[in-house]
């Protein structure tokens, strides 16, 4: 039937005319049509925001064409598909990225011009889709871009939170959180699929029933909520493929509480129905620890159940034997948040499909793979048994059964080593009996991935040591990467054109290895001059932004020194601020004649603190009081400025990164699993000042340690330093700057007391005191290099040239080959 319809359409319009056209006139007409008929504004009078809406709907139409073709093609070829399950996706804006990936940015810019609008101004109207916290969530967004570009048959699954990550407001230097109701003005990038919806069940009891002489367990749920799909097309670059990110929203189910209706309590029944929607209401803003909250657990299961119903339905369209499931489906669980999926697949196979346990387990353990993003034990998810048993009674039974079988197997392998058995058990006994979701994931998955080489070592030696000794072959790592499309082509168009000009091709946008070709031109004075010019223009744009935000005028000749990321003690923004205080103190105490030798700096810090993270919030306040003092000190002038950029998010990063000279990555060694911010800076030719932690160790291998400013204790030195504890003495400069804060030099003496206490001898867990001297040395080395512009530019070009390994294209190719077993499936043009 669909073949017939296609033939008809082609007969009516001609093959090519069946597609939307991309010449300037057609684009203008499409934009105007959408302004008039979709946005319902007059095509003669509309503002920048309405232009953004009209433009976006017109781009969306083009995305939909490709997305339909891609999915028709996938269906025809029936390749093994990857399903990428993540509770968080930090997509940022879509417009610029989409038109660049579709290859029609210039055409649209021209069409808009003809209509009297400017593309950049219109693009600025878009808000961020901030459905995630930090690195883990942005990584997923980069990986979706690579999956689409590399033509992999992949789907992303997530939750459509109505409130994304909170907006950070700064009031008197304190962080306040405001809700991010991002859907207020509509979202042209999504397609609501009212017909793609599934019931998700909660609570209830498990009963036993006898069927054909066998006893089976039957879950009688107590509540049903409907999951409705919202599809977000993700276009690849330089390909017709566009894949799908399907996000679920909770809606009341028709099966919801029929009893209340029948008893005539109509109003209360309606109110109760509305409660269903709270499940997908809000993103949890904590990225450091897991709290056993019922709503969060509900979100996880809601997401898992809807996604799996969808995936299994698609599988069943073309297959009727579940033994083929692992050949056709790869399920990637992003951190442990979706790991209830393991119990859910078992439940479906055993309870609904009536497969015997061992066959079901064999299938389940061949479809899942798991990536962990942390080295912190307290961030590992643990679900209190009481909570799980109440919300999902059958899943708890299944997890107990998996654990029982695993413990029996383990005993037969390691004997009666009860300490080890209890460490490895999926069930944690203790004050609050809990399920360890990481243990469940490791037991079930054939492959467990870390996110950098160092991270894998830490998993082997510390976090999952017992498991590594049991199953060394399960543990792998795939170094994280970021997409050069968003982080260079979209956000730094001038650098992008310059790179293409010098490489003589734009192919690096798909084939990132080509970036290494810049090395052969590194000493060319023309390239150096043009490179410097691009940086200057980007710095000017950033300076303008800073002035609009804060009224502070900064000098373009100063070194723009940036640290942007979530605020965490282990990321050591405090070390940065103490370093800035030290710099300020030195300048203050200098002879006026010596001040001429000081390299001027603009220090930029940005990041959000989790709402309940007290110390992180104090760090933000400290940054503000120090800035207040320095920026208003007439002695200092342009020699030092400190700016806190509020509400750090993906679009702010897109503006800040291209305009930075130096970027700081200061995690205490052994604490950052990978870090992906460093990679974005590296691609943009910013020099890194960093500890040898996470992916920085691999960046050193690619660009050379002499091309960066490294400092601090190494990963393998940190445990011994911790043992020394109080006997580690911090240097005098450190004690002096801490004392300044403690004594109230910047005010708020009492408020900062607890922050200063974390730096006392013996309590300085993150080793700020120990690393301070070497940090200052690295900063001094950066200063010395900056006054030699030729050397700086040289290092900057080599940074970009060495960044190819850190493209998410590389990461995805590795996952495809070594974890998921999927092949590209390229839709013909």
Strand order in the sheet with 559-564: 640-645, 601-606, 559-564, 662-665, 687-691, 709-711
Q: Are 477 and 697 in contact (CB under 8 A)?
A: no
Round to whole Å and give the CA distance between 349 and 322: 8
Produce one character per residue of 182-202: b if its CB has 16 or more CB atoms within 10 Å, e if not: bbeeebbbbbeeeebbbbbbb
Q: Are 430 and 471 in contact (CB under 8 A)?
A: no
Round to whole Å and give the CA distance between 792 and 679: 18
Q: Which stretch binds ligand BZD (CB under 6 A): 234-242, 497-505, 674-682, 746-754?
A: 674-682
DSSP element (H, E) containing 482: none
Question: Closest separation between CB of residue 415 and ligand BZD, Å?
Answer: 35
Q: Is 672 in the site for ligand BZD (CB under 6 A)?
A: yes
Neighbours of 780 (CB within 10 A): 12
Print the binding letters for residues 372-411 with ligand BZD: x by CB under 6 A, - otherwise. -xx----x--------------------------------
Count of residues interacting with ligand BZD (CB under 6 A): 18
Question: Closest separation between CB of residue 333 and ligand BZD, Å?
Answer: 13
HSE-CB at 411 with a 13 A cutoff on CA atoms is 9
Q: Among residues 442 and 602, whose Cβ is nearest to ligand BZD?
A: 442
Q: Among residues 125 and 374, whose Cβ is nearest to ligand BZD?
A: 374
Q: Is 674 in the site for ligand BZD (CB under 6 A)?
A: yes
Question: Closest separation between CB of residue 774 and ligand BZD, Å?
Answer: 22
Question: Closest separation between CB of residue 110 and ligand BZD, Å?
Answer: 38
Q: Which of 317, 376, 348 is nearest to 136 (CA)?
A: 376
Q: % helix / strand / coil in the chain, to the nearest 5? A: 55, 15, 30
Round to whole Å and give the CA distance between 133 and 164: 9
Distances (CA, A) of 704 to 189, 519, 574, 696, 798: 41, 13, 27, 11, 9
* Cα four-point dihedral sign 694, 700, 703, 705: positive
Q: Which residues are catalytic?
A: 373, 565-566, 571, 676, 680
Q: Among residues 287 and 698, whose Cβ is nearest to ligand BZD?
A: 287
Q: For the chain, what is the radius of gyration of the CA atoms?
A: 28
Print the binding letters for residues 690-709 with ligand BZD: x by CB under 6 A, - otherwise. ----x---------------
**The only residue of 340, 451, 639, 759 in contact with ligand BZD, by rule CB under 6 A:** 451
Q: Are 310 and 349 in contact (CB under 8 A)?
A: no
Q: Is 456 in the site for ligand BZD (CB under 6 A)?
A: no
Q: Are 24 and 110 in contact (CB under 8 A)?
A: yes
- Name the residue number minimizing CB distance to ligand BZD: 135
- Segment 133 to 192, residues that bind ligand BZD, using CB under 6 A: 133-137, 139
Print the binding letters for residues 321-360 with ligand BZD: x by CB under 6 A, - otherwise. ----------------------------------------
Question: Closest separation between CB of residue 373 and ligand BZD, Å?
Answer: 4
Q: Which stretch binds ligand BZD (CB under 6 A): 14-22, 208-216, 535-543, 668-676?
A: 668-676
Q: Is 675 in the site for ligand BZD (CB under 6 A)?
A: yes
Q: Among residues 168 and 674, whose Cβ is nearest to ligand BZD?
A: 674
Q: Is 438 in the site for ligand BZD (CB under 6 A)?
A: no
Q: Which of 233, 234, 229, 235 is nearest to 247 (CA)?
A: 229
DSSP state of 276: G
**The only residue of 224, 449, 480, 663 in contact with ligand BZD, by rule CB under 6 A:** 480
Print the binding letters for residues 99-138 with ligand BZD: x by CB under 6 A, - otherwise. ----------------------------------xxxxx-
DSSP element (H, E) containing 200: strand 191-202
Question: Closest separation between CB of residue 242 and ligand BZD, Å?
Answer: 25
- Segment 277 to 296, residues that bind ligand BZD, using CB under 6 A: 287
Positions that interact with ligand BZD (CB under 6 A): 133-137, 139, 287, 373-374, 379, 451, 480, 672-676, 694
């Amino acid at each position: 039937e669909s073949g017939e319809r296609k033939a008809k359409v082609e007969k009516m319009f001609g093959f090519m005319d069946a597609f939307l056209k991309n010449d300037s006139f057609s684009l203008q007409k499409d934009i105007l049509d959408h302004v008039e008929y979709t946005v319902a504004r007059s095509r003669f009078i509309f503002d920048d925001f309405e232009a953004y809406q009209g433009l976006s709907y017109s781009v969306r139409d083009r995305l939909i064409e490709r997305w339909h073709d891609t999915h028709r093609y996938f269906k025809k070829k029936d390749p093994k598909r990857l399903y990428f399950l993540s509770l968080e996706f930090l997509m940022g804006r879509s417009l610029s990225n989409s038109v660049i990936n579709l290859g029609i940015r210039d055409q649209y810019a021209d069409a808009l011009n003809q209509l009297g609008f400017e593309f950049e101004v219109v693009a600025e109207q878009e808000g961020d889709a901030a459905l995630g916290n930090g690195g883990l969530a942005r990584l997923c967004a980069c990986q979706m871009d690579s999956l689409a570009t590399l033509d992999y048959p992949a789907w992303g699954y997530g939750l459509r939170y109505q409130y994304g990550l909170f907006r950070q407001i700064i009031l008197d230097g304190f962080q306040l959180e405001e809700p991010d109701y991002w859907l207020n003005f509509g979202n042209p990038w999504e397609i609501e699929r009212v017909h793609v919806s599934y019931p998700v069940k909660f609570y209830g009891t498990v009963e036993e029933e006898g069927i054909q002489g066998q006893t089976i367990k039957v879950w009688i749920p107590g509540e049903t909520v409907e999951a409705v799909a919202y599809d977000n097309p993700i276009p690849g670059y330089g390909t017709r493929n566009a894949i799908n990110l399907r996000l679920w929203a909770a809606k009341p189910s028709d099966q919801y509480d029929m009893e209340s209706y029948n008893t005539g309590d109509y109003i209360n029944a309606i109110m109760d129905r509305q409660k269903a929607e709270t499940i997908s209401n809000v993103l949890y803003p904590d990225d450091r620890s897991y709290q056993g909250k019922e709503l969060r657990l509900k979100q996880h299961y809601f997401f898992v159940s809807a996604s799996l119903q969808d995936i299994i339905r698609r599988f069943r369209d073309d297959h009727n034997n579940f033994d083929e499931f692992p050949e056709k489906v790869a399920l990637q669980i992003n951190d442990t948040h979706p790991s209830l999926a393991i119990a859910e697949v078992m439940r479906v196979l055993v309870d609904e499909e009536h497969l015997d346990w061992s066959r079901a387990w064999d299938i389940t353990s061949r479809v899942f793979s798991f990536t962990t993003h942390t080295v912190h034990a307290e961030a590992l998810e643990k679900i209190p048994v009481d909570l799980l048993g109440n919300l999902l009674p059958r899943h708890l039974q299944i997890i107990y059964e998996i654990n029982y079988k695993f413990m029996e197997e383990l005993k037969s392998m390691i004997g009666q080593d009860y300490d080890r058995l209890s460490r490895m058990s999926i069930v944690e006994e203790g004050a609050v009996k809990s399920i360890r979701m990481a243990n469940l994931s490791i037991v079930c998955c054939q492959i467990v991935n870390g996110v950098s080489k160092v991270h894998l070592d830490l998993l082997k030696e510390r976090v999952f040591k017992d498991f590594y000794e049991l199953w060394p072959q399960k543990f792998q790592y795939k170094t994280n990467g970021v997409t050069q499309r968003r982080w260079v082509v979209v956000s730094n168009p001038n650098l992008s054109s310059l790179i293409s000009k010098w490489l003589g091709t734009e192919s690096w946008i798909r084939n990132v290895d080509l970036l290494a070709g810049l090395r052969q031109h590194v000493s060319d004075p023309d390239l150096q001059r043009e490179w410097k010019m691009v940086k200057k223009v980007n710095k000017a744009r950033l300076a303008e932004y800073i002035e609009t935000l804060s009224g502070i005028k900064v000098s373009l000749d100063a070194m723009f020194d940036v640290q942007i990321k979530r605020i965490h003690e282990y990321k050591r923004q405090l070390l940065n601020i103490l370093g800035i205080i030290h710099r300020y103190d030195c300048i203050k105490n200098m002879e006026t004649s010596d001040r001429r030798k000081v390299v001027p700096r603009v220090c930029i810090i940005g990041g959000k603190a989790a709402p309940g993270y007290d110390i992180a919030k104090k760090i933000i306040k400290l940054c503000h009081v120090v800035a207040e003092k320095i920026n208003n000190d007439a002695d200092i002038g342009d020699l030092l400025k400190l700016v806190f950029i509020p509400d750090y998010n993906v679009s702010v990063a897109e503006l800040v990164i291209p305009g930075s000279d130096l970027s700081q990555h200061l995690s205490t060694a052994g604490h950052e699993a990978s870090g992906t911010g460093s990679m974005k800076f590296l691609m943009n030719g910013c020099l890194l000042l960093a500890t040898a932690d996470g992916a920085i160790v691999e960046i050193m291998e690619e660009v050379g340690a002499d091309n960066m400013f490294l400092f601090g204790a190494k990963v393998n030195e940190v445990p011994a330093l911790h043992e020394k504890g109080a006997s580690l003495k911090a240097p005098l400069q450190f004690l002096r700057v801490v004392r300044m804060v403690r004594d109230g030099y910047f005010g708020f003496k009492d408020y900062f007391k607890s922050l200063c206490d974390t730096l006392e001898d013996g309590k300085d867990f993150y080793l700020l005191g120990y690393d301070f001297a070497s940090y200052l040395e690295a900063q001094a080395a950066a200063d010395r290099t900056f006054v030699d512009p030729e050397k700086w530019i040289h290092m900057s070009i080599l940074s970009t040239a060495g960044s190819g390994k850190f493209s998410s294209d590389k990461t995805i190719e590795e996952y495809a080959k070594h974890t998921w077993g999927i092949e590209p499936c390229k839709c013909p043009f």
